[in-house]
Amino acid sequence: MKSERVITGPMVLAGVLAFFAVVFAANGALVFFALESFPGVVADKPYETGLAYNRVLEAAHRQATRGWTSELRLDATGGRVVVRMAGADGKPVQGLAARVTLRRPLGEAQDRRVTLRETSPGGETGGVGGIRT
């Protein structure tokens, strides 16, 4: 004959605590992975930025049809941004007006906007000061 198992107060308490421990552990894991995978990208006007994306793609397509190539370098020791542009024939593109924005993914407080000036044929340089890589 089997003996009946009696459910006592401490057993119920242990079951309830175990249940909530599992729930809290699962929620904690989800919060951890959500915070770790969030890139932190912030946009002032995300809707307008999304709408402007087609214009960005169109501009990139126009750039690609020109056959131009570009090289962007960040010289952290001298605090300078260096851009070199070459045409489809490989010759430097001269007379360009260029601006560069160095963005932080967590907001605009530390963004740096730099207007570049032509220092050599096809070469634009601008100082940003205080940058670290």
Answer whether residue 132 shows pLDDT above 60. Answer: no
Query: In terms of domains, do 32 and 73 share one?
Result: no
pLDDT class for 126, splitting at 50, 70, 90?
A: low
Full residue range of the structural domain in which residue 78 is found: 46-127
Q: How many domains does the chain have?
A: 2
- Shared domain check, 26 and 71: no
- 0.95 exceeded by the pTM? no
Residue 5 lies in a domain: no
CA distance 26 to 107: 30
Question: Are 20 and 63 contained in the same domain?
Answer: no
Whether 79 and 116 share a structural domain = yes
Tens digit of pLDDT for each residue in 18-48? Answer: 999 999 999 999 999 988 887 666 677 778 8
Average pLDDT, integer, range 68-94:
80
Residues 34 and 79 grouped into a single domain? no
Same domain, 24 and 71: no
Within-domain flag for 4: no
pLDDT over threshold 60, residue 127: no
- The reported pLDDT for the residue numbered 121 is 66
The helix (run of H) or strand (run of E) holding residue 26 is helix 9-37
Q: What is the CA radius of gyration of the chain?
A: 29
Answer yes or no: are the C-beta atoms of 92 and 131 closer than 8 Å. Answer: no
